[in-house]
Copies of this chain bind each other. A is one copy, B any other.
Amino acid sequence: MAVNIQKGLAAAGLAPLHVWNRTASKAEPVQAEGAIVEPSLESLASKCSLIFAMTFDDAALESAFSAISALSNKSKETENKILVTCSTVAPSLVQQLEHKTKSVSVLSAPVFGRPDAAAAKMLVAVLAGGSETEKNLVAKYLEYTTRKITRLGGPAHTANVLKLTGNFCILSVIEMLAQAQTLAEKNGVPREAVVDVVSALMPGPIVTGYSERIARDEFDVGFTVDGGLKDVGLMRDLASSSSVSLPFADIAHGHLERQKAENKDLDWASLAKIVRKDSHL
């Protein structure tokens, strides 16, 4: 994603992008495109006013926020930073960070899609928090990689609620496809015929893509079972803290837990193996 943003900035005459990654080698492809690699987050934060954070989890976002706000408290010239969190993290964490210090505006802009979708400008983004001016600024950068941005009028963390809601739908579709193909296969209908009909009824890369991968047992690449368990944990925490019943997430969670015991590194769609096993396939 950073590579594409750098390319977009360069094309718009706005380069360079300053980048920092916990694993230095990951910044190399962006550097090759003309970005400036910073030696530390503090160094990056001292030079930039708009910072996009794509962290692995809640803990990494919290430590990035601490580094930025510590810096903005030390020096007057580094005040008024904008931190945009793009990760799938707990809405409650974003809610905490949002009002922690006046010197850092927290916006949230999680995106749907894999890296190849970013390259093709096909991500779907959700954007919330900050002022309208800040949202417009952030949207300008998001546009380099997205085909659609849904803006919310509420505080930043509502974007994380919507991101978890979208991920809940993707996970539900995976579980649905696994159950559907199993029902068909056990009754003499090939999995491919289910792919054919479901793709006609519900077109688009998510349903068709997962449908094909489940039918062909292609679970080697993608979003892992471990990643899926992190996400479904966030969904269920959100449901539980807001007294929402979310039975589809509970079912998929059980299947992911059991698939983790088999192989946690496969794509999360490999929960289909457990679904099949439960139906004696």
Chain B contacts of A176 at CB under 8 A?
Answer: 168-169, 172-173, 176, 248
A3 CB within 8 Å of chain B: no
Do A175 and B238 have beta carbons less than 8 Å apart? no
Do A112 and B183 have beta carbons less than 8 Å apart? no
Do A183 and B150 have beta carbons less than 8 Å apart? no
CB distance from A219 to the nearest CB of B (A): 20
Do A165 and B180 have beta carbons less than 8 Å apart? yes
Do A165 and B186 have beta carbons less than 8 Å apart? no
Do A197 and B251 have beta carbons less than 8 Å apart? no
Q: A91-B187, A204-B204, A246-B183 are in contact. Are A197 and B239 (CB under 8 A)?
A: no
Instruction: Please pick, from B189, B206, B239, the residue contacting A152 in the complex, using a CB distance under 8 A.
Output: B189
Do B247 and A193 have beta carbons less than 8 Å apart? no
Q: A200-B148, A206-B202, A279-B245 are in contact. Are A189 and B161 (CB under 8 A)?
A: yes
Closest chain B residue, CB of each to CB of A251: B247
A39 CB within 8 Å of chain B: no
CB distance from A265 to the nearest CB of B (A): 25
Chain B contacts of A247 at CB under 8 A?
Answer: 179, 251
Do A243 and B280 have beta carbons less than 8 Å apart? yes
Chain B contacts of A175 at CB under 8 A?
Answer: 248
A217 CB within 8 Å of chain B: no
Cα A280 to Cα B245 in complex, Å, equals 9
Closest chain B residue, CB of each to CB of A91: B187
A182 CB within 8 Å of chain B: yes
Chain B contacts of A251 at CB under 8 A?
Answer: 247-248, 251
Which residues of A148-163 have CB atoms within 8 Å of chain B's CB atoms?
Answer: 148, 150, 152, 154-155, 158, 161-162
Do B275 and A245 have beta carbons less than 8 Å apart? yes
Which residues of A125-180 have CB atoms within 8 Å of chain B's CB atoms?
Answer: 126, 147-148, 150, 152, 154-155, 158, 161-162, 164-166, 168-170, 172-173, 175-177, 179-180
Can you spell out 14 A-B residue pairs with CB atoms less than 8 angstroms apart?
A112-B197, A112-B201, A150-B193, A152-B193, A154-B188, A165-B184, A165-B197, A172-B176, A173-B176, A175-B248, A183-B238, A186-B242, A247-B251, A251-B251
A161-B188, A164-B183 given; name 17 further pairs at CB < 8 Å. A124-B197, A158-B188, A161-B189, A166-B198, A166-B201, A168-B179, A168-B183, A169-B180, A172-B172, A172-B176, A173-B176, A173-B202, A176-B248, A179-B244, A183-B239, A186-B243, A243-B280
